[in-house]
Amino acid sequence: MEVYFLKRAIADQLRETEFWRDQDPELPAEFLKELEKAVQNITLAPNGFAWASEPHGLRRYYEKRFHTHILYQYMPEKDRVRIVRIYNARMNPVRFIPSL
């Protein structure tokens, strides 16, 4: 299965990495490992997670250790997962969903 990140998701990933670096210099590497595991879990069951916005075809995966939501779209006809946004659960999700 192909996985790709939109530019906004890459920017989100960088923002989160910097946030965790400010907390502890070792945390960014751990955050990226958890993110990689989360994306792998998404590819194993792309229809298995809650809808974030059904009209937009967005699902949400919740990564527990760093409290990270990953918004993604699964396109079964292309066997592709598109990572749309990445944000901390403490952030207001309304900022992210309408910006599609």
Q: Which residues contact 67 (CB under 8 A, 6 or more apart)?
A: 88, 89, 90
| C-alpha to C-alpha distance for 41 and 63, rounded to whole angstroms | 10
Report pLDDT digits (tens) over 13-34: 999 999 999 999 999 999 999 9
Report pLDDT digits (tens) over 61-94: 999 999 999 999 999 999 999 999 999 887 665 5
What band does 95 get if pLDDT is binned at 50, 70 and 90? Answer: low
pTM for the full predicted model: 0.87
Calculate mean pLDDT across residues 35-48: 97
User: Domain 2-99 has what CATH class?
Assistant: alpha beta
Neighbour-count burial of 85, counting CB atoms closer than 10 A to its CB (0-12 exposed, 13-18 middle, 19+ buried): buried
Overall residue count recorded for the chain in this entry: 100
Whether the per-residue pLDDT at 43 is higher than 80: the answer is yes
